A and B are shown apart, each in its own frame.
Chain A
Amino acid sequence: MTAGQQAGAIRPAASRPPGAAPAVLRRLARNRVAVLLLILALYNLVFAVLRPASFLSLDNYLSILVNMSIESFIVIGITILLVTGNLDLSLGANMALSGILCGLLIKYSHLGLGEILAVTLVASIAMGAVNGYVIAYVGVNPIITTLATAFAYQGVAVWLAGPGFTDFPDYFKVYGQSRWLGVQGPVWYMLGITALFHLLLSNAPFFRNFYFVGGSKRGAAMSGIPVARTVFSAFVIAAVLANLAGVVTASRFNSSMTSIGTGVELRAVTAAVIGGVAFTGGSGTILGAVLGALFLAFVNNGLILLGVEPSWQNVVVGIILILSIVIDVATRRRR
C-alpha cells in the first residue's frame, strides 16, 4: 500500500482556504492603522490640490476634528462591543436621554452640576445594565434586545423632553465650548478618551478578555474567563461613553434634543469596520476604529467642499460601509 505519498504533504504556510484573500491583503488587514494613515495622507494630498483654499486651513481641520469628536465616544463603545461579538443599537437613544436628563435637571432642579452629572451617569449605566443583563445572562440576541431598548429609551427621552431644553448656564456650556491652545474642548476629550481606551484595550487584562470572549466563547470559559460578566461589562462601558457623548453634545450646542443620537450607531459601526474591527468579534483596535471615524469625517468634509448634496453623503457612507465589510469578509474568511 502506498499510503498517502502525495496527500500527506504538509501544506505550505502560505496555503489558504478557498475563497480567502491572498497573503498581501491579509497583512494589510492586519496593519489597518498603517493603511488608514496612508489613505488619509493620500486623501489630504488630493484635496490639497483640488480645493487648496477651503481644505488647507487650520479652521477646516479643526472643524473636521470637532465634528467627529463626540461621535468618537460612540465609536469607542461600539468597538468594545464588536470585539466581544456584540452590538448595541440603543447607544444613540442612551445619548439622547442622557442629554435630555441633564438639560432637564439643569433647568428645573436645584442640584449642583456634579450631582446632575452623577444622576445622568447612573441612568446611563442602568440602561447599559439592562441591555447587558438581557443579552449576557438571559441570552437574547443583542440586535433584537437593543433595538427594543432603543425604542424604550427614546420614548422616555421624548416624554421627558417636551419641546426640549436650551439656554444652559455658562458653568455647563464651558465644557463643550471652551478652547484650550486654540482647540475645542470636545477634541481634547476625544484625544484623551481614545488614548485611555486604546491603552486599556491593548494592555489591561480585564479588557483583553473582551477579545477572548468575542473570539471563542468556549475557549474563554475554559480559560476561566467569566464570559457573561465580561459581556455585561462591555455594555455598561459603552453606555458610560454614550452618556458622555450626550452630555458633551448638550453643552456644546447649548441645547438637548431627542434627535441627537439618531443613526449614530451605524455610523460608528462603519467607522469601526473601516478601522479593522472584525464584525465577527475577537479583533480590532480603538486606534484603528477612531482613525476609521477620522476617515469618514474627512470624506464628509470633502463631499461638502465639493458641493455634494447632503443626502448623497449618506449614500457615500453606506457604500463605504458595504465596501469595508466586503473587504473585511474577504480578508478574514477562514475555512
Chain B
Amino acid sequence: MGAAGEPGRVVLSARDIEKSFPGVKALKGVSVDFRAGQIHAVCGENGAGKSTLMHVLAGAYPADSGTILYEGKPITLHTQHQANTLGIAIVYQERSLVPGLTVGENIFAGRQPRRLGLVDWRAVERGARQTLAQLGLEIDPRQLVVELPAALQQMVEIAKALSVNPRVLILDEPTATVTQRESEVLFGLLRRLRDGGLAIVYISHRLAEIFQIADHVTVLKDGAFMGTEEVSKVDEKWLIKRMVGRELYVTRAPSPEAGERILEVEGLSDGDRFREVGFHLRAGEILGFSGLVGAGRTEVFQTLFGLRARQAGRVRLFGKPVRITSPREAIALGLGYLPEDRKEQGLFVEMAVCDNIVAAALDRCRRFIELDRKKVLRFSEEYRSRLSIATPSVEQKVLNLSGGNQQKVVLAKWLLVNPRILVVDEPTRGVDVGAKLEIYSILRQLREGGTSIVVISSDLPEILSIADRIYVMCEGRIAGEIQGSAATEESLLSLSSRFEPPGGPARPAGGEA
C-alpha cells in the first residue's frame, strides 16, 4: 500500500494508530506516510476518523496504541505546542486568532521578538511582513484581524502556523468557511508551499478538491484504513468505492403511494449559503435531503421555517403561496422543525422531560390562564410510552437522559404540536444504533398518521434506509433528485460533489449523476 520509490522523503508516519472513545473505536490501526513536497489528502465520510487521526498527529490527544514517527524517529506528543516546536503545525477549521490584535502580533503569539524586555514592534512587523511576503500574501501586518475577510483570516492562520518553519502542515477542512474563488487562492498557496518542500496533510470530504490539489490520497472508513494511492492513478469511483459500503440500518420499507404536492419551493435563495433551490414534498412521504456538511441543507429549511431571511423564491404550502417570516407563523401553518443541534436549539436540558414535551403546545395544557399540571403529566406520560422514552419519571431532568432519549423528547414535543410537515435535521447524530432504529420507526409511524417528513442527514445509510425520495444538495444548490429505491451510497456521494469549484478539472462522476 505504501508509495515506495516515489520522490519525497517520508517526514511523518503513523504506524498502527488506534484510538477509542467511550463507545466508539475511532481509529482501528491506521498507518500512513506523509512525504516532503507532497499534498496528501485524507478523506472519508463523517465519522470516518479523519479528525481523530489529525488530532493524534498534532498532539491534541494521545493514541491508545501505535507509533508516530517524525523524521524516522518515534515521538510521543503530549501537547500541541510540543508538536508545533518539533515541526508539526496544524490549522483547524475554527480560528485561533485574536480578532482585536494585529495580524503581525497574532503571527508572533507567545514568542514576540523582544528588545529590553519589551515587545519589539518593529521586529514583529518586519518578521510578519517577511512571513506574509514569502507566502505571496499582500496583507498589512499592522491591520487588525477583525478587519480582514474570512479567507484572509485563514491565510493569516496558515502564516501563523508556518512562521515556526514546520516540516509538516496539517489542514482541517480548510475550504469549509471560504467561498469557491477564495479556495482557489488557498490552493495556489498550498501548491507553492508544496513545491517548497513542505509535507501537507489535507483533510477534506470534498472529493473534487482532492483531485484539484492532492498528490496522494488516503481513505478512512469507520476508523479503518481503506488504502492510500496516488491521486493521478485513481478516479472518483475509486474513492467512493472505498468510502462507502457501510451497512444499512433497516431494510427499506416499500414507499407508499405519493399524494399531492403539499410543499412546493421554487428558486429559493438567501443570497449567502444557497441559491435557486427548488423541490417539492408530497403528502405522506419521507423526503431525504442528502449532501455534505455545509452544502446548505439546514439553511434552506431554516429559511422556510422563518429563522433566516430569504432573498428570492416562491413557496407554496398546501397549494397556497406563503411568506413565512417567523417560526411562530411556520408552526401555525403546520410546519415543524427539529433542529440539528438539539442541546442548543431543541431542548431545555435543565428542565423536566414533561416540561420539554409540552413546551411547544402549552396552549393545549392550559386551564384558563394557568398551566394544568395534570394535563402536562398526562400528555407527557402518553408520549413517553408511545415513543418508549427511557426515563424513571417524566419529572426527570432532560440533562440526565441519553442522547437517543433526548432526541425522542424533542420528537415528542413536535408530535404533540402535530405538524402536517415535520423537518428533522440530523435526527440521529450522537445516538446509538438501537435508538436510531426506534427513531426511524417513530418517523414511519408519524407518516402513517398523516405527517409528511423531511429528513436532513449526512449519514448515507440513514437516508437510504428511510427516505422514499432523495434530493442531494451540493455547494448551496440542488444537485439531483433520486427515488429512494434506486439510490445507492455511490450515487448520493457523486451528486454531493457534483459542482466543482471553478478552475478545477472536471472529473467523470461515478454513478448516475
Which of A203, A204, A225 has the largest number of chain B CB atoms within 10 A?
A203
Query: Contact check: which of B96, B100, B118, B147 meets A222 at CB < 8 Å?
Result: B96
Interface residues of A in 182-222 (CB under 8 A from B): 203-205, 208-209, 211-212, 214-216, 218-222
Flag if B500 contacts A208 (CB, 8 Å): no
Flag if A334 contacts B99 (CB, 8 Å): yes
Flag if A9 contacts B179 (CB, 8 Å): yes
The interface-forming segment of B79-87, B350-358, B375-383 is B79-87
Closest to B144 in A: A30
Q: What separation, in Å, do the CA atoms of A218 and B94 have in the docked complex? A: 10
Q: What separation, in Å, do the CA atoms of A13 and B379 have in the docked complex? A: 53
Flag if A282 contacts B118 (CB, 8 Å): no
Complex contacts, A204 vs chain B, CB 8 Å: 117-119
Flag if A211 contacts B101 (CB, 8 Å): yes
Q: What separation, in Å, do the CA atoms of A218 and B90 have in the docked complex? A: 12
Interface flags, A256-300, vs B, CB<8A=1, else 0: 000000000000000000000010001110000000000000000
- Min CB–CB distance A12 → chain B (angstroms): 8
Interface residues of B in 195-244 (CB under 8 A from A): none
Which of A9, A219, A283 has the largest number of chain B CB atoms within 10 A?
A219
Interface flags, A1-35, vs B, CB<8A=1, else 0: 10111111111110100100000001000100000
Flag if B97 contacts A4 (CB, 8 Å): no
Flag if B99 contacts A7 (CB, 8 Å): no
- Min CB–CB distance B171 → chain A (angstroms): 14
Flag if A8 contacts B149 (CB, 8 Å): no
- For residue A112, CB closer than 8 A to chain B, the reply is no
- Size bracket of the B interface: 35 or more
Flag if A282 contacts B100 (CB, 8 Å): yes
Flag if A212 contacts B98 (CB, 8 Å): yes
- For residue B250, CB closer than 8 A to chain A, the reply is no
Flag if A208 contacts B502 (CB, 8 Å): no
Complex contacts, B99 vs chain A, CB 8 Å: 215, 282-283, 334
Complex contacts, B371 vs chain A, CB 8 Å: none
The A interface, classified by DSSP as helix, strand, loop or mixed, is loop
Q: What separation, in Å, do the CA atoms of A209 and B118 have in the docked complex? A: 13
- Min CB–CB distance A222 → chain B (angstroms): 5
Flag if A215 contacts B98 (CB, 8 Å): yes
Flag if B81 contacts A221 (CB, 8 Å): yes
- For residue A224, CB closer than 8 A to chain B, the reply is yes
Which of A8, A214, A284 has the largest number of chain B CB atoms within 10 A?
A8
Flag if A205 contacts B85 (CB, 8 Å): no
Q: What separation, in Å, do the CA atoms of A12 and B185 have in the docked complex? A: 15
Flag if A216 contacts B98 (CB, 8 Å): yes
Complex contacts, B150 vs chain A, CB 8 Å: 11, 335
Closest to B499 in A: A3
Flag if B110 contacts A8 (CB, 8 Å): no
Complex contacts, B506 vs chain A, CB 8 Å: 1
Flag if A9 contacts B119 (CB, 8 Å): no
Complex contacts, A283 vs chain B, CB 8 Å: 98-101
Complex contacts, B148 vs chain A, CB 8 Å: 13
- For residue A311, CB closer than 8 A to chain B, the reply is no
Q: What separation, in Å, do the CA atoms of A312 and B501 have in the docked complex? A: 61
The B interface, classified by DSSP as helix, strand, loop or mixed, is loop
Complex contacts, B475 vs chain A, CB 8 Å: 3-4, 7
- For residue A109, CB closer than 8 A to chain B, the reply is no
- Min CB–CB distance B179 → chain A (angstroms): 6
- For residue B498, CB closer than 8 A to chain A, the reply is yes
Closest to B474 in A: A3
- For residue B255, CB closer than 8 A to chain A, the reply is no
Q: What separation, in Å, do the CA atoms of A20 and B181 have in the docked complex? A: 24
Flag if B81 contacts A215 (CB, 8 Å): no
Complex contacts, A5 vs chain B, CB 8 Å: 502
Contacts A1-B506, A203-B119; is A218 near B501 (CB within 8 Å)?
no
Q: What separation, in Å, do the CA atoms of A5 and B476 have in the docked complex? A: 13
Interface residues of A in 203-249 (CB under 8 A from B): 203-205, 208-209, 211-212, 214-216, 218-225
Complex contacts, A18 vs chain B, CB 8 Å: 309
Flag if A3 contacts B500 (CB, 8 Å): yes
Q: What separation, in Å, do the CA atoms of A30 and B500 have in the docked complex? A: 39
Contacts A4-B501, A204-B117, A205-B114; is A212 near B109 (CB within 8 Å)?
yes
Contacts A13-B148, A224-B85; is A211 near B100 (CB within 8 Å)?
yes
Q: What separation, in Å, do the CA atoms of A325 and B116 have in the docked complex? A: 37
Complex contacts, A219 vs chain B, CB 8 Å: 95-98, 109
Complex contacts, B100 vs chain A, CB 8 Å: 211, 215, 278, 282-284
Flag if B85 contacts A216 (CB, 8 Å): no
Q: What separation, in Å, do the CA atoms of A319 and B118 have in the docked complex? A: 39
Complex contacts, A224 vs chain B, CB 8 Å: 81, 84-85, 110-111
Contacts A8-B502, A10-B181, A219-B96; is A282 near B119 (CB within 8 Å)?
no
Query: Contact check: which of B96, B180, B309 meets A218 at CB < 8 Å?
Result: B96
Query: Contact check: which of B111, B151, B182, B502 meets A223 at CB < 8 Å?
Result: B111
Contacts A203-B119, A224-B110; is A8 near B179 (CB within 8 Å)?
yes
Q: What separation, in Å, do the CA atoms of A283 and B475 have in the docked complex? A: 35
Flag if A215 contacts B118 (CB, 8 Å): no
Contacts A212-B98, A216-B97; is A7 near B144 (CB within 8 Å)?
no
Flag if B117 contacts A15 (CB, 8 Å): no
- For residue B433, CB closer than 8 A to chain A, the reply is no
Interface residues of B in 498-513 (CB under 8 A from A): 498-502, 506
Contacts A1-B498, A215-B98; is A222 near B119 (CB within 8 Å)?
no
Which of A3, A225, A278, A284 has the largest number of chain B CB atoms within 10 A?
A3
Q: What separation, in Å, do the CA atoms of A192 and B97 have in the docked complex? A: 32
Complex contacts, B181 vs chain A, CB 8 Å: 4, 8-10
Which of A13, A15, A222 has the largest number of chain B CB atoms within 10 A?
A222
Q: What separation, in Å, do the CA atoms of A30 and B143 have in the docked complex? A: 11
- For residue B485, CB closer than 8 A to chain A, the reply is no
Contacts A4-B475, A7-B475, A10-B179; is A223 near B81 (CB within 8 Å)?
yes
Query: Contact check: which of A6, A10, A211 meets B182 at CB < 8 Å?
Result: A10
Interface flags, B8-51, vs A, CB<8A=1, else 0: 00000000000000000000000000000000000000000000
- For residue B326, CB closer than 8 A to chain A, the reply is no
- For residue B105, CB closer than 8 A to chain A, the reply is yes
- Min CB–CB distance B139 → chain A (angstroms): 11
Query: Contact check: which of A13, A26, A221 meets B80 at CB < 8 Å?
Result: A221
Q: What separation, in Å, do the CA atoms of A284 and B502 have in the docked complex? A: 42
Flag if B97 contacts A215 (CB, 8 Å): yes
Q: Which residues of B contact A (CB under 8 A)?
A: 79-81, 84-85, 90, 92, 94-101, 105, 109-112, 114, 117-119, 121, 144, 146-151, 179-182, 185, 275, 309, 475-476, 498-502, 506
The 9 closest A-B pairs by CB, nearest first: A215-B98, A283-B100, A219-B96, A223-B110, A8-B180, A8-B181, A223-B109, A224-B81, A203-B118
Some 16 contacts from A to B, beta carbons below 8 A apart, are: A6-B275, A7-B179, A8-B501, A10-B185, A204-B119, A205-B117, A212-B101, A212-B109, A215-B97, A221-B79, A223-B81, A224-B85, A278-B100, A282-B101, A334-B146, A335-B150
Beyond contacts A221-B81, A282-B101: 17 other A-B pairs, Cβ-Cβ < 8 A, are A5-B502, A9-B181, A10-B179, A11-B151, A12-B149, A26-B147, A204-B119, A205-B112, A205-B114, A211-B98, A212-B101, A215-B100, A219-B97, A223-B81, A223-B84, A283-B100, A332-B146
